[in-house]
Amino acid sequence: MIDCGEGTQFRLQHFKISHFKIEYIFISHLHGDHILGLPGLINSMNINGRRKKLTIWSPLGLEEMIDKIFEVSGSHIDFEIVFHIINTEKPEKIFDDNHIEIHSFPLDHRMPASGFKFIEKGRLRNIDSSMISQYNLSINQIKAAKFGNDIEFPDGTVITNKDITLPPKKLRSYAYCSDTKYNDNIANYVRNVDLLYHESTYLDHLKDKARERFHSTASDAALIAKKANAGKLLLGHFSSRYGDLSGFISEAKQHFENVELGLDGNKFSVNINHDENEF
Amino acid sequence: MIDCGEGTQFRLQHFKISHFKIEYIFISHLHGDHILGLPGLINSMNINGRRKKLTIWSPLGLEEMIDKIFEVSGSHIDFEIVFHIINTEKPEKIFDDNHIEIHSFPLDHRMPASGFKFIEKGRLRNIDSSMISQYNLSINQIKAAKFGNDIEFPDGTVITNKDITLPPKKLRSYAYCSDTKYNDNIANYVRNVDLLYHESTYLDHLKDKARERFHSTASDAALIAKKANAGKLLLGHFSSRYGDLSGFISEAKQHFENVELGLDGNKFSVNINHDENEF
């Protein structure tokens, strides 16, 4: 889960998402609308008998706040919470397993803030099955080829990897940028992502206010998506002053065509857009 | 406002209640479901330009928690918040003005907790206007009579107060008891209130769990209402395990007839029930 504003636990209930499914939480920055759902969510996890570890990445200060809340409420949390502090000054790889790698990168907000990029991990190369019989490959040789190795036979013959394997499936990627004002560097951090969420608090008529408050307009978000060569752009974090949100789409489309509003409860698939090996 | 669980600010919005109208907040105890809406509410008040003082009564610890949250989120609150610490060990009058007096009293929960009683202030006695001309009463004599004094004339004649005044209008009263297990003392603290809110987390089949968790059943709440001679009972704080809440009414009615469920968004008027001068 990325960020956790007030009421998140009720949204999860409403959309029938069990909070037992949440193992990792990524907090972009410590403004109230991004963290104030966390104490209640943790409290509910606890009341509902969670024993599984929860891991949270955030800028410095969150652990202290959570500790204080549970101290004054006299509650004991019966599961382990691991807090990782994000360096909000430079991009970093913060997570890496067999399936995914996750990067944080600096945003440009009134307080230390990070975006996140999720990249599906490179799967093994696929063996070309006709080659297995042609070269009479052993299990171990197949495994070695999947990892990208050339195969050397006892007689000294070598088959190069690309002759017997096909490239791994393309990787999907998603990046999340909230809250931030327009900053060129962000386009570099999120280059070629398939799906980009970028905040757009305001429309162009309030672009000065956006700069001043370290927020973005729909145009800002679209320009980042364009420069980054993103596959698709999702907008969100709309100021409550706007009743009709259609202006966000029309202003963004002046710079970037494939754009949608990220509204409460919407689901989006991450579809491959970038060419192979762009990462 | 009494207590402030997560999402309170969204409920206020939903029911079109401006948070500018809130001057006083009474927090019964520091469990998450009674306080976690407070940081977000204060944050929203701040963002929306509140400058008016906010006064909060709560058991010890709340100010420290609020301070920590706003410290880590780097936010500055531009209005004054006055915190009063409630003594959760004994009943106390915590507020008194021309219109209302407010008392806290101990509840019986897993952590220090207080209930609250709101009593419309005793108005002055009403002067019987026909007596003004009959006795040719001066402004000062009228004022003295309103305060309940007898009137003595220079010639030594005395008119007793009840001959020239009518009793003040009856007073309305409301008491709030959450969270608590059944405790006889509570009936004394809320004696003769017109409207009593008392938590009823469980039904009778879980009365052992209720005792163990320092919560009440619907029967417990009804017995308190009966012993207290309350006018009407509102039940609330129902465990989420109950989909159908009709059992709360039927079990409560075995002990106390005038009972309703306090559900989200319901409004209740406080109607005079007690006899004059019962307070």
Q: Which two tokens stand for residue A215?
A: 């927020």
Instruction: Find which of A265-274, B83-92, B131-140 is predicted with most confidence, using mean pLDDT.
Output: B83-92
Using the predicted structure, report yes or no on whether residue A122 has a pLDDT greater than 60: yes
Cross-strand partners of A198? A177, A235
Within 13 Å, how many C-alpha atoms sit on residue A33's CB side?
Answer: 11
Instruction: Tell me the nearest-neighbour CA distance from B84 into chain A, angstroms.
Output: 16
Pairwise CA distance, residues B210 & B239, whole Å? 10
The model's pLDDT over A28-66, given as tens digits with 9 standing for 90+, comes to 999 999 999 999 999 999 989 999 999 999 999 999 999
What are A203's two structure tokens? Answer: 């429309």
Using the 8-state DSSP alphabet, how is residue B2 labeled? B
Secondary structure (DSSP) of B183-211 = -HHHHHHTTT-SEEEEE--B-GGGHHHHH
Residue-wise pLDDT for B24-68, tens only, equals 999 999 999 999 999 999 999 998 999 999 999 999 999 999 999
Any chain B CB within 8 A of the CB of A230? no
Average pLDDT for A257-271: 94
Q: Check: CB of residue B110 under 8 Å from CB of residue A74.
A: yes
Q: Quick check: B163 pLDDT over 60?
A: yes
Q: Which domains does chain A have, with CATH numbers?
A: 126-166 (no CATH), 170-279 (3.60.15.10)
Q: What is the ipTM of this complex?
A: 0.78
Q: Does the CB of A9 have a partner CB in chain B at under 8 Å?
A: yes
Lowest average pLDDT, out of A140-149, A247-256, B100-109, B187-196, goes to A140-149
Please report which residue ranges of B120-265 form alpha helices under DSSP H.
Answer: 129-135, 139-146, 161-164, 184-189, 207-212, 218-228, 246-253
B33 included as an active-site residue: yes
Residue B45 phi/psi, 5-degree rounding, is: -55, -45
Instruction: Please tell me which of the candidates A32, A64, A69 has its beta carbon nearest to residue B40.
Output: A32
Q: Looking at the predicted structure, is the pLDDT value of residue B279 above 50? A: no
Question: Quick one: which H or E segment has residue A44?
Answer: helix A38-47
- CA A246-A203-A184 angle, to 5 degrees, is 120
Nearest Cβ partner for B61 among A30, A62, A72: A72
Residues of B in contact with A74 (CB under 8 A): 30-31, 110-111
**In this structure, what token pair is assigned to residue B211?**
């005792």
Integer CA distances (angstroms), A135 to A82, A127, B261, in order: 49, 12, 77
Q: How far apart are CA A234 and CA A224, in angstroms?
A: 12
* Contact partners, residue A20, CB within 8 Å, separation at least 6: A45, A48, A50, A52
Six token digits for residue B160 = 């007793």
Q: What number of residues does chain A have?
A: 279
Contact B6 A33 (CB under 8 A): no
Q: What is the pLDDT of residues B166-189, one digit of tens each?
A: 877 668 999 999 999 999 999 999
Q: Give the single-character DSSP code of A275.
A: P
**Taking the CB of residue B122, how many other CB atoms lie within 10 A of it?**
14
Summary mean pLDDT of chain B? 93
Average pLDDT of the residues in B12-18: 93
Its pTM stands at 0.82
